[in-house]
Structure 1
Amino acid sequence: MAEETTTTTNHVPAHIEVDTSYENDSSYGDEISSYSASLISSALDYRHENGRRYHGYRDGSYLLPNDETESDRLDMVHEMCLQILHRKLYLAPIKNPQRVIDLATGTGIWAIDFADLHPSAEVIGCDLSPIQPTLVPPNLKFLVDDIESDWTYEKNPFDFIHARYLMVSIRDFGRLLKQCYRSVKPGGWVEFHDWDGYPDSVDGSHKGTGLERYCNEIYGAFEGAGYEVRPGPKLEQWFKDAGFVNIHVEKFVVPYGVWPKDPHLKKLGAWNQAQGEAGFEAGALAALTRYKQWSKEQVTLLCSQARNDGRKRDVHAVFYFYVVYGQRPEN
């Protein structure tokens, strides 16, 4: 029996120095702009609601849109995650993987990059929505599937299972990790990347802002509907409960906005603000109108307040991003 071990790496500095070179909010906005400018028939029977398009397969099980606007944001998140991990797609010590799956692949951009990087591997990307491109590496295929349903992958297990940004998408992460355990080969690895959805700040400057209220309102709606909104800090325990060993945890700080003085954190903050502003409406509309009976106009106002307060140079909000991977024992 392999001995359970866990290593943790914390990339969160005790203090993030604020860049005080801005003289007014308008110049700060210019800085933001400069950083930001860089199947089955049921699956295609999309729901159209409040000007956005949502998945048709297992309608209602995922509350964010699947339209082109959201696809562009997800690709932006992919680039941000590459920035967080210094251009790495994954951190697990995998060697010569032959069979790999990307859970809830979204636009498929991670799976495409992985398939290009490992041309000898058979790569699968699965998602509720068939929104992925058709021109992809020959070793990659996409499937329409609900990862919270019972799996059949145990009969043909994987060397590596990857999932990223499942916050507000999954109701039972513990069950999902156990399915991953059963569907990865002995000695194989599973790696999840995810967030703590609520903002923080070392100086309390996020308190009482429209950004904090936005998160409180939408995550309250998601939690009321049974979704997990802060999976990042809980992943380690779910990995342990599923039976994984050699668990490794890395915690990263991701600022919101370009207020940090550190160039790397400033760049991350710009990416985070760009994707956040593009996703405020996407994250709020279905959750608040379906579960809290908000009007679209109320949602629009909430998003506007979050966007405006998030741009203020004296609001030093941060979010925490976790990468956790573990190995199924060899025996």
Structure 2
Amino acid sequence: MANDAQLPGNDDGPDEETYYIGGSVILNYRKENGRTYHRLSDGSYHVPNDEQEQDRLDFAHHLWKLTYDGKLCNCPKLYGAKRVLDVGTGTGIWALAYADEHPGAFVLGVDLSPIQPEFVPPNCHFEVDDIEKEWIWLEAFDFIFSRSMNACFKSRTDFVIQAFKNLEPGGYLEMQDNGFPLLCTDGTMPEDSLIYKWSQLLVESTGLIGQPLDDAPKFKQMLEDAGFEDVHERKEIWPIGPWPEEGTKEHELGMWCQSITMESLEALSLALFTRVLGWSRARTLVFCAGAREELKQQNIHAYFDVYAVWGRKPAERGSA
């Protein structure tokens, strides 16, 4: 595990902020480039965990729900799940919503950072853990959910295999993520566009560290290769601006995606560009400011592909 001296770009120095749960230290938050990052499995996740980022995650939850017409998931476990695992729960907003809608289900949210609410429903629980390490839960789940986990895995395939092993027969895995880089079909996003370069640099930097940002189109094949059956893929788009026709769902999605993308520019870039690409904090901020100005102009008709993929673990032989 790299220490402070091994992670370049820490312009603000190796400041730490210690957090306690149950009287014991669980991690020292890293303060870097004016943002705060997790300390558990240090350096494995390159997005901040501070209040600004928590607000962004909660806004993104609304975008996801809008994408899927208010539904928390697409698989049959929209109803009837009993034991649910939310991988990379973040602020816990999805887990709390699912627990609220399904009082008969037990929902466990897991994340590297303890940024979830202290007071939660009795059927919802949060744990601080690294999902890339061996899973040691003794009881299987009947629904495992993963959303917005781009660039969080050294091997998404290994995660899918772990999920398969920890599902009960007939249980479901659903993964939701947007694709990278940005796409455009009408020629309004030239290759020298800063927002396009931003998305390409994210793909490049995450590729260099072996945590790919662009594997969402492979989700369906991953589930099938792991042994899931009845695998489905639902593909949508997120316009990064309100350029679609007014009054349409796409127009509303574009307004939300534009706002969230503006907040994402620095959040997704600061650690990756300084640690991996060797940029300074100042260069990164200037670049992000330029990309933000492009987004405000609304003349670039770019979009993200968005994927939801789900599949069922086969029932045991001889079962009904």
State the TM-score, normalized to the length of structure 2: 0.89
1:286 matches 2:271: yes
Deviations 1:210-242 (A, max 9, x none): 100111122211110111111221100110111
Deviations 1:64-85 (A, max 9, x none): 0000000000001000000000
Cα distance, 1:99 vs. partner?
0.6
Deviations 1:129-181 (A, max 9, x none): 0000012111000000111111123x310010000011021120000000000
Which residue does 1:6 correspond to in 2? none
Distance of 1:228 and 1:62 partners within structure 2: 12
Structure with the larger RCO, 1 or 2 (CA within 8 Å, 6+ apart): 1
The answer as to whether partners of 1:43 and 1:128 remain within 8 angstroms in 2 is no
Which residue does 2:162 correspond to in 1? 179
Which residue does 2:52 correspond to in 1? 69
Question: Partner of 1:233: helix, strand, or coil?
Answer: helix
Which residue does 1:162 correspond to in 2? 145
Distance of 2:41 and 2:298 partners within structure 1: 42
Cα distance, 1:197 vs. partner?
1.9
Which residue does 1:152 correspond to in 2? 136
The answer as to whether partners of 2:152 and 2:211 remain within 8 angstroms in 1 is yes
Cα distance, 1:304 vs. partner?
1.1
The answer as to whether partners of 1:102 and 1:126 remain within 8 angstroms in 2 is yes
Which residue does 1:299 correspond to in 2? 284
The answer as to whether partners of 2:47 and 2:271 remain within 8 angstroms in 1 is yes
1:224 matches 2:208: yes
Question: Partner of 1:61: helix, strand, or coil?
Answer: coil
Amino acid in structure 1 at the alignment position of 2:298: R
Which residue does 2:261 correspond to in 1? 276
Distance of 2:267 and 2:93 partners within structure 1: 19
Would the alpha carbon gap of residues 43 and 63 (structure 1) be closer, same or farther in structure 2, given more than 3 Å must change?
Answer: farther
Distance of 1:249 and 1:43 partners within structure 2: 38
Can you give the 5+ residue segments of structure 1 that lack an aligned partner in the other structure? 1-38
Distance of 2:211 and 2:233 partners within structure 1: 23
Distance of 2:25 and 2:212 partners within structure 1: 26
Distance of 2:72 and 2:53 partners within structure 1: 21
Cα distance, 1:204 vs. partner?
2.3
Match of 2:217 among 233, 239, 247: 233
The answer as to whether partners of 2:202 and 2:213 remain within 8 angstroms in 1 is no
Distance of 2:153 and 2:178 partners within structure 1: 13
Question: Partner of 1:46: helix, strand, or coil?
Answer: strand
Cα distance, 1:245 vs. partner?
0.1
Aligned length: 292
Amino acid in structure 1 at the alignment position of 2:171: G
Task: Give me the CA root mean square deviation.
Answer: 1.2
Distance of 1:202 and 1:217 partners within structure 2: 20
Cα distance, 1:293 vs. partner?
1.4
The answer as to whether partners of 2:75 and 2:310 remain within 8 angstroms in 1 is yes
State the TM-score, normalized to the length of structure 1: 0.86
Which residue does 2:3 correspond to in 1? none
Distance of 2:224 and 2:98 partners within structure 1: 26
Distance of 2:25 and 2:222 partners within structure 1: 33
1:47 matches 2:35: no
Would the alpha carbon gap of residues 43 and 283 (structure 1) be closer, same or farther in structure 2, given more than 3 Å must change?
Answer: farther
Distance of 2:226 and 2:34 partners within structure 1: 40
Which residue does 2:104 correspond to in 1? 120
The answer as to whether partners of 1:43 and 1:129 remain within 8 angstroms in 2 is no
Once the two structures are overlaid, the 10-residue window that deviates more, 76-85 or 193-202, is 193-202
Distance of 1:323 and 1:292 partners within structure 2: 30
The answer as to whether partners of 2:86 and 2:109 remain within 8 angstroms in 1 is yes
Question: Partner of 2:297: helix, strand, or coil?
Answer: coil
Percent of pairs identical after alignment?
38
Distance of 2:25 and 2:203 partners within structure 1: 28
1:326 matches 2:296: no
Cα distance, 1:42 vs. partner?
5.0
Amino acid in structure 1 at the alignment position of 2:263: A
Can you give the 5+ residue segments of structure 2 that lack an aligned partner in the other structure? 1-20
The answer as to whether partners of 1:128 and 1:145 remain within 8 angstroms in 2 is yes
